[in-house]
Amino acid sequence: MSIQQISNTDFTESNTEGLRYVNPKQFNRILERRKERKKFEKKREKEYQQRKRKSKKPNESRRKNAFKRKRGNNGRFLPIKCKTKNDQDIKNEK
């Protein structure tokens, strides 16, 4: 049984260790994992780009609701329970 050498360049660890010696069965499995990891990362990146392109305004419903809410003089939202003078005048006229 021979011992395979595997380079440390693909690992995120430091390159100071150099080569690692692994069992041949482990070596083949490591190569398969690397291929699968690259494939998965490409797929994930593609999905991320699609999501990013698709959602220009992710909180569209919140945005629409904010347009409907009443604002005070300084531009801040009025409390929901607070009634303005116009609302009271309309009720009194009826």
Query: Is the distance from CB of 70 to CB of 78 less than 8 angstroms?
Result: yes
pLDDT value of residue 14: 47
- What's the domain range around 48? 4-93
Q: Inform me whether the pLDDT recorded for 49 exceeds 80.
A: yes
Cα 60 to chain centroid, rounded: 17
Q: Stretch 52-75: mean pLDDT, rounded?
A: 81
Integer-rounded Cα Rg, in Å, for the chain is 31
Q: How many domains does the chain have?
A: 1
What band does 90 get if pLDDT is binned at 50, 70 and 90?
Answer: low
Query: Is the distance from CB of 44 to CB of 21 less than 8 angstroms?
Result: no
pLDDT digits (tens, 9 = 90+) for 5-44: 666 555 544 455 677 788 888 899 999 999 999 999 999 9
Q: Stretch 72-82: mean pLDDT, rounded?
A: 83
User: How much of the chain is in helix, strand and coil states, percent to nearest 5?
Assistant: 55, 10, 35
